Amino acid sequence: MARRALGRATLAVAQAVEAALTPQDTALLVACSGGADSLALAAGVAHVAPRSGRAYAAVVVDHGLQDGSAEVARRAARTLEGLGLDATVVAVVVAAAGGGPEAAARDARYTALRAVAEDRGATLLLGHTRDDQAESVLLGLARGSGARSLSGMAVRAEGLLRPLLGVSRATTRACCAELGLEPWDDPHNADPAYARVRVRARVLPVLEAELGPGVPEALARTADLLRADADLLDALAAEARERVEEDGALDCTGLAALPAALRTRVLLAWLRDLGAHDLIARHVAAVEALVLDWHGQGPVDLPGVRVGRTDGVLRGPT
């Protein structure tokens, strides 16, 4: 298909894909659920990759959490093959986890996707859009999780590539319409039991109605601005942690001397390495009190781990 034959939305998607790639991305693997965003991404890759001599394929994960999920996965694979992508369906088992079913499904999905990408030596592409970015920023704001959470998702991070973070969900749907693709709408994406769904269906529309159009774009722009700051602070915190940590324990005197922005990051990274999960600001504050407001109090229980102070250092489980 000649580039001039592409519709406006499909061209926008293809241009976003092309702009995100580097010469090191010699093989591309699209993670596809069958939804509009990932189908549009697959179509963009199918247009861009052959023109640059890149290998390209797709993988569909079947979580097995809904009746008929296997057929949904097979249908997505057939659609992808119609676009010219070799498609592999991978079934995963979603184990119960402390973070809840949504987190467990995400962990299982990413583990499977990374395994396929590593086996093929391919860059793994995900279909997150600007709307997903805006939702992530609002959720981070509601949790009070700080600059890292508000910085949202990066286009390229941790071996993942998200070319469509500057593209709206409306554009991906329009792309599918232009190409005659019928995306699958995951029922979970309409279930108000999930906070992200409530943000999408209720919160963002109210914000746009009251503040005017362009809220998702502004939130995504905020994420971009904060990400550079968060990256710098995280790097400085990693250096600081090396200075205050010995044998897995943190020296409280050294921690207390750190600026608050670095101290909380050191604590958060340390707690996560110990196995803590679903941490929010009050969890970190409780541990920080062992450093700054020490009066002999007992250990702090967090999701997944207990930490305490002995002999002037913070220790995890022994």
Q: Is 35 annotated as a binding residue?
A: yes
Q: Is 132 annotated as a binding residue?
A: no
Q: Extract the tokens encoding 76.
A: 């997505």
Q: Which residues lie across from 160 on neighbouring strands?
A: 124, 157
Residue 139 CA, distance from chain mean position: 12
Distance CA 271, CA 287 (A): 9
Q: Is 237 annotated as a binding residue?
A: no
Distance CA 35, CA 171 (A): 13
- Picking from 241, 293, 290, the residue whose alpha carbon sits closest to that of residue 262 is 241
User: 159-162 long-range CB contacts below 8 Å, 24 or more apart?
Assistant: 159/114, 159/117, 159/123, 159/124, 160/124, 160/125, 160/126, 161/20, 161/21, 161/25, 161/123, 161/124, 161/125, 161/126, 162/20, 162/125, 162/126, 162/127, 162/128
- Picking from 152, 129, 160, 169, the residue whose alpha carbon sits closest to that of residue 224 is 152
Q: Which residues lie across from 124 on neighbouring strands?
A: 29, 160
Distance CA 97, CA 39 (A): 29
Q: Extract the tokens encoding 115.
A: 């395994």
Q: Is 36 annotated as a binding residue?
A: yes
Q: What is the DSSP letter of 34?
A: S
Q: Is 145 annotated as a binding residue?
A: no
Please state the length of the chain: 318
Q: Is 151 annotated as a binding residue?
A: no
Please name the residues in contact with 255: beta carbons below 8 A apart, sequence gap of 6 or more: 244, 263, 266, 267, 291, 314
Binding-site residues for ATP sit at: 33-38
Question: Which residue ranges are tagged as binding site?
Answer: 33-38
